[in-house]
Amino acid sequence: MIWNSMSKRTANVHVRTQWRPQVSSIAVSIFVALYLLLLMNRSFWSKGWLYLDGRMATIAFFGIGLAALYVALCVSLSVKYAMKPAFILLILASAAMAWFMDRYGVIVDVEMIRNAAETNSAEASHLITPAFLLHLLIYGVLPSMLLVWIRVRHQDFRKKLRTNLVVIFPALAVALIAGLSHAGAYAAATRAHRDWLPTLNPFAPLVTTVQFALRSSAEVNVVAAPIGEDAGVSDSASQRKPRLLVVVVGETARAENFSLGGYVRQTNPELSGKAIYYFRDTTSCGTATAVSLPCMFSVYGRSDYSHEKGRATENLLDVLSHAGVSIEWWDNNTGSKEIAARVPERSLVAREDAQFCADGECQDGILLDELDARIGAVQRDTVLVLHQIGSHGPSYYLRYPQEFRRFVPDCRSAEFSECSQEEIVNAYDNTILYTDHVLAQAIARLEEEQERLDVSLLYMSDHGESLGEYGLYLHGAPYLIAPSEQTHVPFLLWLGTEAQADYSGTCLKAETGPPQSHDNLFHTVLGLMRVETAVRDPQLDLATRCRSRLSG
Q: Which residues pair with 488 in a beta bridge?
A: 283
Report the number of secondary-structure helices (H) and strands (E) in the chain. 22, 17
**Please, which residues have CB within 8 angstroms of residue 46's CB and are 6 or more apart in sequence?**
none
470: left (phi over 0), alpha (psi -120 to 50) or beta: left
CATH architecture type of domain 242-546: 3-Layer(aba) Sandwich (3.40)
CB atoms within 10 A of CB 451: 8
User: Got the DSSP string for 163-177?
Assistant: HHHHHHHHHHHHHHH
For CA atoms 102, 104, 110, 116, give the dihedral sign.
negative
Residue 299 CA: distances (Å) to CA of 81, 460, 520, 539? 51, 16, 10, 13
pLDDT in tens, 465-490: 999 999 999 999 999 889 999 999 99
pTM of the full structure:
0.88
Contact between residue 476 and residue 287 where contact means Cβ atoms under 8 Å apart: yes
- From first to last of its 552 residues, what are the pLDDT tens digits of the chain? 444 554 555 555 454 556 789 999 999 999 999 999 999 999 999 999 999 988 899 999 999 999 999 999 999 999 988 999 999 999 999 999 999 999 888 888 887 888 777 777 777 788 888 999 999 999 999 999 999 999 999 888 889 899 999 999 999 999 999 999 989 898 888 888 888 999 999 999 999 888 888 877 777 778 899 999 999 998 887 889 999 999 999 999 999 999 999 999 999 999 999 999 999 999 999 999 999 999 999 999 999 999 899 999 999 999 999 999 999 999 999 999 999 999 999 999 878 888 999 888 999 999 999 999 999 999 999 999 999 999 999 999 999 999 999 999 999 999 999 999 999 999 999 999 999 999 999 999 999 999 999 999 999 999 999 999 999 999 999 998 899 999 999 999 999 999 999 999 999 999 999 999 999 999 999 999 999 999 999 999 998 888 864 443
Q: Which residues pair with 387 in a beta bridge?
A: 249, 331
**Please, which residues have CB within 8 angstroms of residue 30's CB and are 6 or more apart in sequence?**
71, 74, 75
Count of all residues that appear for the chain in the document: 552
* Sequence ranges of the domains in the chain: 22-219, 242-546
